Amino acid sequence: MDKMMRIEGKPVSEGYAVGPVYMMKKVTDRQVIHAYGEVEQELNRFQQAIEKSIEDLNQLYKRMLEKHGESEAKIFEAHREMLSDIEMHNQIEEEIRKTKCCAEWAVKTVGDQFVALFEGMDNPYFQERALDIKDITNRLIKNLMGQEDEHNLSVPSIIVAKDLTPSETCLLDKNKVLGIITEKGGQTSHSAIIARMLNIPYIVVPGILGDIDMDMDVAMSGSDGRLIINPKDDIIDEFKKLMQVQSQEQERYKTVKGLESISLDGHLISMKANIGSLEDMNQVMMSDAQGIGLFRTEFMYMNRKDLPTFEEQVKTYSEIIEKMEGKPVTFRTLDIGGDKKSDLFNIPEEMNPFLGFRGIRLCLEERDLFKTQLKAILVAALKGYAKVMFPMIASIQELWQAKEVLYEAQKELRMEAIEYSKKVPVGMMIETPSSVMMADLFAKEVEFFSIGTNDLTQYTLATDRMNPKVGYLYSGYDPSILRSIKKVAAAAKSENIDVSICGELGADINLLAYWLDCGIDSLSMSASSIEKAKWYIRHSDISKAKGLLEKVDEMPSEKQMHELMQEITKNTFQSP
Ligand code: PEP
Ligand code: MG
């Protein structure tokens, strides 16, 4: 029996998993080395790699179609067509014959030539195709090296990878992926947020790739970060029991379904859901969500090769609004950038992507694209109740400019004689320290605030939300964050506007009493977390911790704040 090994990781998505490891090695053409091969054999290998790649793309197309729809799936159809391009085939075969190199090298060499050719063209459409060629050649190389796609897992497994992009996470098959372990990332990375929506346990373990290999068995806990490699039978039994306890707890939380989210001493708070796509609505419909507090619309711009049209956006937005039957749907306008990449935008390689060209900054430069999205929201809003909010606002000029684009969108719709809703409240996200400092003035400019604690934490503490090396600083319990939230809530109250929390901190059980005490109007979280949070709210009596809540402002450190919040939860929680 292989030696058992225990490692402490960072929990980022709750839950337990036991199973074999699947190493998700992302091959890039940089890893291809030159080698000689036997010509006929290499030609054969190349042929087989093409067939396998076409098979992969067919499956990906089907999966994407089921999960996200026709337009998102199109990218895989386009790749399949490009893969069948005779010109490229002939050149790769010619390279193998001429230089007697291995098929991997021939694919890389010819692929590089095609990429350079497309990149050098004047037409932006053809320039963008260079990225497709890179994708296709990487797929061919991966298949030549015999590496499977994680969606082809033959048995349910735990995915291990250096990192995972949000678009890769979107494609994971919940039935086959038992858990995720990556070297990079953090609790509020978008991959972690998606894993939470999909209910997949996830931990981050720096340096794990050196300790683990394909098909090893592991047990992992997304609740406390434990990872056990080659677990003995007693550990496997322990984890199976934990899974059982977890599902019993979930049954208990279900008992609050349909009930109000009100504390024992009468604090009422609205519980809403965060979504990233139309597909997430299935879970929302099964939950008790009183609306959508955050629709991360940027996910509509990922895993595809062309921008969503006005018509397509109207259709998707209308469907979501209709499904909510009069409950509010809050559209956060495109917030691409940071860890959310999309091939559709020309975002240069940046030293600090989270401080760079992202969110509202990009939208204010790509005004037409921004306006198209706003027009689609205004038109879809006729189907029910929609709100619009701008992300990443750092200065009041940005907010004024964003509102100006909104007025232009309304004006154009009037000129085009397209009907739209005139009752769309306009709000902004509070996720930069500057917006906290200026909250009193911002509150006069908008109809609601939504606090994005994921970014607010990284910007306030100057600690990258994706970097585990500085993860020790990244905590919403830092007094600076909780003070900021209180200040923003007070600014909202004095202007009589609504304030909600839509970052991950909103769902933290230990902070619920504090949110109620600060006067937060609503919490927006993954639909799967709503019942648990509501169950705790309904079993809390905030009046029991009045004295302790007054001490929050005195806490000097993250550690002391954490202890105080645990103490508050202990005092307010009334066991049923
Ligand atoms: C946030 O920053 O808290 C937020 C909700 O936005 P996102 O996580 O998408 O950056
Ligand atoms: Mg954010």
Q: Is the pLDDT of residue 29 over 70?
A: no
Ligand 1 near 29 CB (within 6 A): no
HSE of 190, CA atoms in CB hemisphere, 13 A: 21
Q: Indicate if 196 and 54 belong to the same structural domain.
A: no
* Residue closest by Cα to atom 4 of ligand 1: 452
CA of 396 to the centre of ligand 2 (A): 18
Task: Quote the pLDDT of residue 350.
Answer: 84
The answer to whether position 245 is within a domain reads no
Domain count for the chain, please give it: 3
Give the CA angle between residues 447, 395, 300 to the nearest 5°.
70
Distance CA 89, CA 96 (A): 11
Residue 557 burial by Cβ neighbours in a 10 Å radius (0-12, 13-18, 19+): exposed
State the pLDDT confidence band at 70, using cuts at 50, 70 and 90.
Answer: confident
Angle at alpha carbon of residue 154, lines to 150 and 158, rounded to 5°: 55
- What does the alpha-carbon distance between residue 177 and residue 293 come to, in Å, rounded to a whole number? 28
Q: Are 501 and 533 in contact (CB under 8 A)?
A: no
Beta strands in 457-574 (DSSP E): 498-501, 522-526
By mean pLDDT, which of 6-15, 184-193, 226-235, 561-570 is the weakest?
184-193
Q: At residue 196, what is the residue type?
A: R
Query: End-to-end CA distance of the chain, in Å?
Result: 46
Give the E-state strand segments of 65-119 in sequence order.
none
- Domain with 304 in it: 260-572
247 occurs within a structural domain: no
What's the CA-to-centroid distance between 453 and ligand 2, angstroms?
A: 7
| Same domain? 460 vs 405 | yes
Q: Going by CA atoms, what residue is nearest to atom 8 of ligand 1?
A: 454
Ligand of minimum distance to the alpha carbon of 340: 1
Residues with CB under 5 A from ligand 2 (ion): 431, 452, 455
Paired tokens of 287: 């939950």
Mean pLDDT computed over 424-450: 98
Smallest CA-to-CA distance from 342 within 377, 307, 393 is with: 307
Instruction: Report the chain's mean pLDDT, rounded to a whole number.
Output: 91
CA 138 to ligand 1 center in whole angstroms: 31
Q: How large is the average pLDDT for residues 514-522? A: 98
- Tell whether 338 and 479 lie within a shared domain: yes
Q: What is the pLDDT of residue 480?
A: 98
- On whether both 303 and 204 belong to a single domain, the answer is no
What mean pLDDT comes out for the span 278-286?
A: 90
Pairing of strands 226-229, 217-221: antiparallel
Query: Which ligand is nearest the CA of 393, by number?
Result: 2
What separation in angstroms does the CA of 510 have from each of 16, 187, 477, 492, 569? Answer: 21, 16, 10, 23, 6
Q: SS3 sequence, 174-195?
A: CCCEEEEEECCCCCCCHHHHHH
Q: Is 296 a pocket residue for ligand 1 (Cβ < 6 Å)?
A: yes
Give me 35's structure tokens: 């080698």
Q: Please give the Cα distance from 108 to 513 (Å, whole number).
A: 57
Distance, CA 143 to ligand 1 centroid (Å)? 36
What's the confidence (pLDDT) of residue 120? 83
Residue written as tokens 């497309």? 118
Q: Which H helix or E strand runs over 245?
A: helix 233-253
pTM score > 0.85 for this model? Answer: no
State the closest ligand 1 atom to the C-alpha of 190, by its place in the atom list counted from 1. Answer: 8
Q: Whose CA is nearest to atom 3 of ligand 1?
A: 452
Atom 1, ligand 1: which residue's CA is nearest? 452
> Which residue from 224, 227, 166 is spatially nearest to 198, judged by alpha carbons?
166
- pLDDT score of 125 more than 80: no
Task: Considering the candidates 101, 102, 363, 502, report the single residue annotated as catalytic.
Answer: 502
Residue 546, domain member (yes or no): yes
Quick one: average pLDDT of 88-100?
Answer: 91
Q: Which residue from 455, 464, 526 has its CB within 8 A of the most atoms of ligand 1, so it is best to mutate?
A: 455
Question: Could you tell which of 194, 431, 464 is best to mutate to test the pocket of ligand 1, judged by most ligand atoms within 8 Å of the CB?
Answer: 431
- My answer on whether 335 and 187 are in the same domain is no
395 and 265, same domain (yes or no)? yes
% of the chain with per-residue pLDDT over 70: 95
In a domain, residue 251? The reply is no
CATH (domain of 204): 3.50.30.10
| CATH number where 520 lies | 3.20.20.60
Active site residue 363: no
Starting from the CA of residue 457, give the closest ligand. Answer: 1
Q: What is the pLDDT of residues 200-244, one digit of tens each?
A: 999 999 999 988 988 799 999 999 999 999 999 999 999 999 999
- Whether residue 379 contacts residue 320, with contact meaning beta carbons closer than 8 Å, is answered with no
What is the distance between the alpha carbons of residues 74 and 353, in angstroms, rounded to a whole number? 28
* Ligand 1 site, residue 503, Cβ cutoff 6 A: yes
Q: What is the mean pLDDT of residues 142-153?
A: 73
Dmax (CA) for the chain in angstroms is 82
For residue 42, report the distance from its CA to the centre of ligand 1, in Å. 48
d(CA 423, CA 426): 9
> Could you tell me if residue 293 is inside a domain?
yes
Q: Is 298's C-beta closer than 6 angstroms to any atom of ligand 1?
A: no
Residue 413 and residue 432 in one domain: yes
The position carrying tokens 């495109």 is 334
Q: How far is C-alpha 528 from the geometric centre of its chain's CA atoms?
A: 15
Q: Does residue 244 fall inside a structural domain?
A: no
In this structure, is residue 414 part of a structural domain?
Answer: yes
Mean pLDDT computed over 407-428: 98
Q: Is the pLDDT of residue 291 over 70?
A: yes
Ligand 1 atom closest to the Cα of residue 504 is 3
Average confidence (pLDDT) over 91-115:
91
Is residue 148 predicted with pLDDT exceeding 70? no
CA-CA distances (angstroms) from residue 97 to 45, 89, 470? 13, 12, 51
Ligand 1: residue whose CA is nearest its atom 6 = 452
For residue 452 and ligand 1, the question of a CB distance below 6 A is answered with yes
Q: Which of 68, 79, 190, 267 is catalytic?
A: 190
Q: Which of 169, 187, 280, 296 to mutate to test the pocket of ligand 1 (most atoms within 8 A of CB)?
A: 296
pLDDT at 462 over 60: yes
Whole-angstrom Cα Rg for the chain? 25
Binding site membership of 453 for ligand 1 (Cβ less than 6 Å): yes
Atom number, ligand 1, closest to the C-alpha of residue 502: 5
Same domain (yes/no): 429, 542: yes
Distance from residue 513's CA to the centre of ligand 2 (Å): 23
**Would you say the C-alpha torsion 92, 97, 101, 103 has a positive or negative sign?**
positive
Please, what is the Cα angle at 502 between 496 and 507, to 5 degrees? 115
Check whether 30 has a pLDDT greater than 60.
no
CA–CA dist 25, 159 (Å, integer): 10
539-569 pLDDT tens trace: 999 999 999 999 999 999 999 999 999 999 9
Q: Which of 249-253, 283-287, 414-418 has the highest mean pLDDT?
A: 414-418
Dist. CA 449–CA 519, nearest whole Å? 13
The CATH number for 133's domain is 1.10.274.10
Distance CA 143, CA 133 (A): 15
Evaluate: CB of 454 within 6 angstroms of ligand 1. Answer: yes
pLDDT per position as a tens digit, 311-360: 999 999 999 999 999 999 999 999 998 888 777 887 778 888 899 889 99
Written as six digits, the tokens of 217 are 């068995």
Angle formed by the axes of helices 39-67 and 124-144, nearest 10°? 120
Distance, in Å, from the CA atom of 294 to the CA atom of 317, rounded to the nearest integer, reads: 13
d(CA 354, CA 260) in angstroms, rounded, equals: 38
Please give the C-alpha separations between residue 242 and each of 159, 224, 470, in angstroms, as whole numbers: 20, 12, 30
Between CA 19 and CA 174 the distance in angstroms is 14
- Let me know whether 21 and 32 are in one domain: no
Regarding whether 456 and 374 lie in a shared domain, the answer is: yes
- Which of 46-60, 156-170, 319-333, 501-515 has the weakest average pLDDT? 156-170
* Residue 502 Cβ < 6 Å to ligand 1: yes
Under 8 Å CB-to-CB from 126, ≥6 apart: which residues? 118
Cβ neighbours around 471 below 10 Å, total: 18
503 C-alpha to ligand 1 centroid (Å): 5
Amino acid at 156: P
Ligand 1 centre to CA of 454 (Å) is 5
- The one-letter code for the residue type at 544 is K
Q: Is residue 237 part of a domain?
A: no
pLDDT at 71 over 70: no
Neighbours of 70 (CB within 10 A): 11
> 431 C-alpha to center of ligand 2: Å?
6
| Residue 502 bears catalytic tag | yes
Q: Do residues 210 and 195 share a domain?
A: yes
174 and 266 in one domain? Answer: no
For the four alpha carbons of 28, 29, 34 and 36, in that order, the dihedral sign comes to: positive
Question: Is the beta carbon of 450 within 6 A of some atom in ligand 1?
Answer: no
CA distances (Å), 62 to each of 57, 74, 75, 158, 307, in order? 8, 10, 12, 23, 20
